[in-house]
Amino acid sequence: MTTPPEQPRPVAVLLVANRGEIARRVLRTCRALGIGTVAVHAPGEEAAAHVAEADTAVALPVPAGGGPVDAYLDPGAVVAAALAAGADAVHPGYGFLSENPALARAVTAAGLTWVGPGAGAIEGMGSKTRAKETARAAGVPVSAALDPGEVREEDLPVLVKASAGGGGRGMRVVREIADLSAAADPARAEAAAAFGDPAVFCEPYVERGRHIEVQILADSHGTVWAVGERDCSVQRRHQKVVEESPAPGLPEDLRRDLHESARALARAIGYVGAGTAEFLVPVRPAAPGEGGGGDGVFGTPVFLEMNTRLQVEHPVTECVTGLDLVEWQIRVAEGEPLPAGGPPPPAGHAVEARLYAEDPRRDWRPRTGVLTAFDVPAATARFAPPAGFGVRLDPGVEAGDTVGTDFDPLLAKVVAHGRDRRDALRRLAAALAGARVHGVATNRDLLVRTLRHPGFARADTRPGDLHTGFLSGERLAGLAVPLADPGTEELAALAAALAGAEAARSRGPLPAGIPAHWRNLPSQAHVRRYTTDDGREVAAAHRTVRGAPVPERPGTRVRSVAADRVVLEADGLVRAFTVRPAGDAVHVDTPHGSVALTPVDPLPAPEAAVDPGALPAPMPGTVTSVDVAVGEEVSAGQTLLRMEAMKMEHRITAPAAGTVRGIPVTAGLRVAAGTPLAVLDYEGKDSP
């Protein structure tokens, strides 16, 4: 048991050592509690939403040779900002320095209140290998932690993991010994870039497992709560995509064991504050006679890691319990004990989806650009549980913001709280399908299709259908298909063409006697061509009959036309299309998904010739390494360079066998999208 403070220290002004969505989330609770707020930011973020919402803002210096991310990674600069702004407490959020004991020590050494666990607890859990040893000593089952050099054939498959940090960074699955070093080296590089620590280890890889985490809340008086659990099994590339609470289909005895293991671990390290113990529970479909042939059989859970901070997915716990976890972080830091009687039991079901700026059509690469529109009309609450059942939105961005490459591509978290799981899934899928997110590609369609997938929907009755491999292979490809099918795209193009014509007409009066949609060749149809996000061309054609547009598409007629909204009847169905031009594109929101269209210029400007052997940068970022030399012969798929963008490593590979003719970049160079990174001469031809 830790020693309670002699006197409570009420927080008057709190600095949030973070940015984006989590900073805004903490600021909201501070406003509700009457606590003054201080935001920090990197140069260039002066207009960011979290900065505008705080009472005071302080710019963090960028170290020599560093970038915007590095501004958030200096404990001394954070403490100096707190003292300069008159803050008496610091909340780290998640990511950046949230699990760095140096910041916790620096804050307390400066006489400020640290809203988080003590530096000793952070340090003890900061290394996943040390955390496993502590858990084992506390009687919590753990998996083996192997040095990559000690892995043998009988240990395979294994998962290479970063010893520090989380979020899927540095993870690689290895099934063959020959592939181990090729997986460990980039994992070390990615871990070093994300956490400043290149250490990695291996643990047995469970092909079918449920990722279950238990929310911990502990005070300085010895009380430890297990505030329910969350299922985070829907992942892509080991990064969480959908989370929910309570975990569906979990047997009650297993649920109790997980809660008790989490409490035991927290007690073992004298934990104070909010944290999360993460477990992997093997699961397989039940054999005949074991539970109906598909209900699922759970194996022995093993401890993975403890996150000594607030989790990204904490809103689902808040929705089902009614607790404000940030408020309780602050109250515990002030010395207040948790109420007697334990945490409130869960009521209803909550599901969260992470909306990322990434492009499924281009190998899920993070996307950048200006958010010309960002709206989730179904949301009834922001950064707090909705009144009754409904949809909560925790956004890190607003319309007009620029999505860059320096930070995580998470745009927002969308959370639905329902009477039961089916209700929550339906609410969340509808909210995402009706969202208007224009300007960057996102994973929105994947989220909607996942929430509506029968295998995911029946996880509470057939838990063996849900596991960490749910989004993989052909299923991932199938779920990533756009919600808008080709027929919807055709109608969207027609709506865009009609709205564009109406907008042009409304910009200035036509000469007297000339009707709308008039043209001097009435025998010819109006034709407008567009390209979709994946490069396909779609055309829209209509004629003008008695001053009204008549589509060339069979079975289609126009009900109404405005510059921003078109109503069409197609094949007996009436649908409304919202049209929004933005820059060079036109975004059309339909009842069956959004469509981004780029008008085809009938008289395109000449383009400069491009070397057919040049490999352009797929996105803005920083070249972290050059793996080949000029004159070197390379094979198809061989890594030529590595880039870092949005805190992730991206490999630039050879599309075909050939010889490296040129490398116009060097490691450490920041490049724009489209910058030539390498030039190849392909075997027997100019390009693959």
Measure Cα distances from 550 to 22, 506, 525, 557 in Å: 50, 19, 9, 6
Look up residue 640 and give its two tokens.
């030529």
Residues spanned by CATH 3.30.470.20 within the chain?
206-476
Per residue in 380-404, pLDDT (tens digit) is 999 999 999 999 999 999 999 999 9
- Which residue, among 566, 562, 597, has the nearest Cα to 583 in the 3D structure? 597
Predicted pLDDT at 204:
86
Fold for domain 143-205? Dna Ligase; domain 1 (3.30.1490)
State whether CATH 3.30.465.10 applies to domain 614-682.
no
Domain boundaries 13-115, corresponding CATH code: 3.40.50.20
The fold of the 486-507+517-599 domain, in CATH, is Glycoprotein, Type 4 Pilin (3.30.700)
HEC readout, 522-572: CCCCEEEEEECCCCCEEEEEEEEECCEEEECCCCEEEEEECCCEEEEEECC
Instruction: Tell which wins on pLDDT, 319 or 628.
Output: 319
- What residues does CATH 2.40.50.100 cover in the chain? 614-682
- Say which CATH class 206-476 falls into: alpha beta
Give CATH 3.30.700 domain extents, the chain. 486-507+517-599
Return residue ranges of the chain for CATH 3.30.1490.20: 143-205
Local confidence band at 475 (pLDDT 50, 70, 90 cut-offs) = very high
Q: What is the mean pLDDT of the chain?
A: 90
Using CA atoms, how far apart are residues 441 and 359, in angstroms rounded to an integer? Answer: 5
Length of the chain: 688
The helix (H) or strand (E) run that includes residue 225 is: strand 224-236
Tens of pLDDT, residues 331-375: 999 999 999 999 999 999 999 999 999 999 888 888 889 999 999
Average pLDDT over residues 234-258: 95
Query: What's residue 282's pLDDT?
Result: 93
Each residue's pLDDT tens digit, 415-453: 999 999 999 999 999 999 999 999 999 999 999 999 999
Q: How many Å is the Cα radius of gyration of the chain?
A: 27
Q: How far is it, in rounded angstroms, from Cα 167 to Cα 311?
A: 10
What average pLDDT score do residues 234-260 get? 95
The pLDDT score that the predictor gives to residue 215 is 98
The alpha-helical segments, DSSP class H, found in 394-472 are: 421-433, 444-451, 454-457
What's the pLDDT at 254?
A: 97
Q: What is the 3-state secondary structure (H, E, C) of 280-323?
A: EEEEECCCCCCCCCCCCEECCCEEEEEECCCCCCHHHHHHHHCC
Q: Is the pLDDT of residue 113 over 50?
A: yes
User: Under 8 Å CB-to-CB from 412, ≥6 apart: which residues?
Assistant: 21, 355, 374, 376, 393, 394, 395, 396, 397
Whole-number Å distance between alpha carbons of 678 and 555: 51
For residues 590-611, average pLDDT: 80
- Residues 473-481 have a mean pLDDT of 92
Q: Residue 46 is encoded by which pair of tokens?
A: 């002066």
Say if residue 181's pLDDT is above 90.
Answer: no
In the chain, ranges of CATH 3.40.50.20 domains: 13-115
In this prediction the pTM is: 0.86
